[in-house]
């Protein structure tokens, strides 16, 4: 059974800092890994999707890496802004099934 863990559970940083969110998974037989953002009381916004054959994906200030053999992914956020405050969820796809981590609650202070 796939298990996904995210560290840290919560993170508070001053505006402008670069930061890294971590995600680990137990079964390396995955199709892809996806990072989502969730604002309070809202649905999911897909940020980045990395296919199992890829090592990283970039979108603006976001960069996600994937090391399938070690079961790890990181989400790097550059020059953080207060608008980045949200919960970030990592999800691993095994076939058509997604397994979510518990999320990292990020607060960026002005």
Residues forming the site for another protein (CB under 8 A) = 31-32, 36, 41-44, 46, 49, 51, 89, 93, 95-103
Whose Cβ is closer to another protein: residue 11's or residue 49's?
A: 49
Q: What's the closest the beta carbon of residue 46 comes to another protein, in angstroms?
A: 7
Whose Cβ is closer to another protein: residue 71's or residue 101's?
A: 101
* 3-state DSSP assignment of residue 84: helix
Tokens of 51: 């296919």
Q: What's the closest the beta carbon of residue 85 comes to another protein, in angstroms?
A: 15
Tokens of 37: 């953002």
Whose Cβ is closer to another protein: residue 51's or residue 81's?
A: 51
Whose Cβ is closer to another protein: residue 42's or residue 79's?
A: 42
DSSP per residue over 27-85, as a string? ----SEEEEEEE-TT--EEEEEEEETT-SEEEETTEEEEEETTTTEEEEEE-S--GGG-
Q: What's the closest the beta carbon of residue 21 comes to another protein, in angstroms?
A: 14
Q: What's the closest the beta carbon of residue 94 comes to another protein, in angstroms?
A: 10
Q: Is 73 exposed, middle or buried (CB count within 10 Å of its CB: 0-12, 13-18, 19+)?
A: buried
């Amino acid at each position: 059974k796939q298990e996904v863990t995210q560290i840290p559970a919560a993170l508070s940083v001053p505006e402008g800092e670069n930061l890294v969110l971590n995600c680990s998974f137990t079964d390396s037989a995955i199709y892809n890994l996806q990072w989502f953002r969730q604002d309070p009381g809202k649905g999911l916004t897909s940020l980045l999707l990395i296919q199992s054959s890829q090592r990283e994906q970039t979108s603006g200030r976001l960069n996600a890496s994937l090391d399938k053999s070690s079961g790890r992914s990181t989400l790097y956020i550059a020059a953080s802004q207060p608008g980045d405050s949200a919960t970030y969820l990592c999800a691993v796809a095994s076939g058509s099934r997604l397994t979510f981590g518990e999320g990292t609650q990020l607060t960026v202070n002005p």
